Structure 1
Amino acid sequence: MHANISTSPAAARGFLQWAACNKTTGSGSGSGSGSSTYNEGRTQSKKRIPLTVAQREFLSSALRVNQAGELAATLIYTAQTPPVVSREPHLRPLMRHMYEQEAAHFSTFNALIAKHRVRPTALYPVWSLLASGLGWTTGVMGREAAMACTEAVETEIGDHYNAQIRRLLEMVTEWETQGYDVGGEFKDLVVTLRRIRDEELEHLDHAVEHDAKKAEPYWLLTGVIRAGCRGAIWVSERV
């Protein structure tokens, strides 16, 4: 048995055109030892099983919202860094580190969006404006507010990536239970999401270590930002 990934009716395109191949074999009576053979004249046949519509829509929306989220993250750090670093020069390496990881995540999803021909969110300009505004506002408020922003955003993003990973693993388990092999590209996606999730949660830890919870008013600030993130995720998955 094997699975393959194709990119068009004639050539491979990626996991959005996922298909698994199922061998159907005959059995025959064997010798006195009890061994079995294929029935005479029967040949192996392969049946393609494509992704369901729901699975394709899930993968498309996952890539779309992830790209939008990573765009927003890069813009938040870009806007936060000047006011934060002007007051706290020792934070420059940390801010650069977090920005560079987000920029790498954004590049990853840009490549996946292009490869699998997924439509980006139509709200790019809106998210860009809001992310830059959020970054600048919390940066001007000071280190604690900037770090509280990071904590709030990364909490929601970590939960979001965990939900995607669980869904993908459910799909993989279902295919493997049915006897299909899962293609390497699909498994690579799970590995990529886990790596990016872990890096996002690392940012959350950095934020807490740098006094995120001392922001005033902490619960109001983080509550509003987390609610905004959830709303942005919901909309970007669909629009």
Structure 2
Amino acid sequence: MAPSQRLLRLRMMRSMRPIPTCARFLFAAVAAPSQHCFSTTARRDQAASTSTNEAASPKRKKPLTKEERDFLSSALRVNQTGELAATLIYTAQTPPLVNAHPHLRPLMAHMYEQEAGHLKTFNSLITKHRVRPTALYPLWSIMATGLGWSTALMGREAAMACTEAVETEIGEHYNNQIRTLLEMFEQWEAEGYEVGDEFRELISTLRRIRDEELEHLDHAVQHDAKEARPYWLLTSIIRAGCRGAIWTSERV
């Protein structure tokens, strides 16, 4: 066989060698990219479609029923009344107590400032939501002032027992409001409605104020509220009066 023929045959044999594995893999990836690209594109299209559908159908805001509106109005009304009474009690108690016990001045000032802040909050909410304040505002003002002044004259322990009794009732009252609102929100979400930021902020405000009221209760106990005489009778009368004022202010 001529040298030129042998060279030609050798070239033909080399061209018939199998394609290496790595080369076959690259070739397959280049030759058939459509399946991979289609699956990626499909996933992207599906995700975009889902996102578009979610954006197109946001959760609805819950239209309040008459019962829900009435509850929220009465809650704001009675809270405003309670905070007004608290500021008047501390205003009346402070001069006699501080004259007899000067070391109580910072505590009385601290509790009054917090109550004044609570009252300012509910005054704002009452105005914002156009809720009618209680018609018994003048009566509660007189009674709160009288309660603060009389318990302060009875002594430090009686004044602190007054704070303990009032804050016990107020703390339970705020807890009941918070519990009712959370149940309402849970029902709204179960029905597919959205609980807006305004309602979530209201829950946060009620919790903060409740905690500060319970802080006042702790201060009263630490300053010998339970040493008042007669402790049981005094606190029972005050707590009953608070419950009556709450019930009446929710309705009148």
TM bracket (short chain): 0.7 to 0.9
Provide the rounded CA distance (Å) in 1 between the counterparts of 2:217 and 2:179. Answer: 21
Provide the rounded CA distance (Å) in 2 between the counterparts of 1:45 and 1:70. Answer: 38
Q: Deviations over 1:80-132 (max 9, x none)?
A: 00001110000000000000000000000000000000000000000000000
Higher Cα Rg: structure 1 or 2?
A: 2
Structure 1's unaligned 5+ residue stretches are 1-31
1:83-162 equivalences under 5 Å are: 83-162=96-175
Aligned position for 2:6: none
- Verify: 1:165 aligned to 2:213, yes or no: no
Give the TM-score taking structure 2 as reference length: 0.77
- Verify: 1:180 aligned to 2:198, yes or no: no
Deviation at 1:181, TM superposition (A): 1.5
The correspondence for 1:53, drawn from 66, 84, 97, is 66
Provide the rounded CA distance (Å) in 2 between the counterparts of 1:45 and 1:98. Answer: 44
Deviation at 1:177, TM superposition (A): 1.6
Deviation at 1:46, TM superposition (A): 8.2
The correspondence for 2:235, drawn from 203, 209, 222, is 222
Aligned residue for 2:193, secondary structure, equals coil
- Verify: 1:196 aligned to 2:221, yes or no: no
Give the letter aligned to residue 54 of structure 1.
E
Deviation at 1:195, TM superposition (A): 0.2
Q: List 4+ stretches of structure 1 deviating above 2 A.
A: 35-38, 43-49
Q: Deviations over 1:151-201 (max 9, x none)?
A: 000000000000000000001111112222210010000000000000000
Give the letter aligned to residue 211 of structure 2.
D
Q: Which has the higher strand share?
A: 1
**Percent identity (aligned):** 73
Give the TM-score taking structure 1 as reference length: 0.81
Give the letter aligned to residue 124 of structure 1.
Y
Provide the rounded CA distance (Å) in 2 between the counterparts of 1:191 and 1:49. Answer: 19
Structure 1 vs Structure 2 CA RMSD: 1.9
* Structure 1 residues 87 and 171, CA gap change in structure 2 (3 angstroms): same
Aligned length: 203
Structure 2's unaligned 5+ residue stretches are 1-41, 51-55
Provide the rounded CA distance (Å) in 2 between the counterparts of 1:44 and 1:65. Answer: 38
* Structure 1 residues 193 and 44, CA gap change in structure 2 (3 angstroms): closer
Q: Deviations over 1:177-232 (max 9, x none)?
A: 22222100100000000000000000000000000000000000000000000000
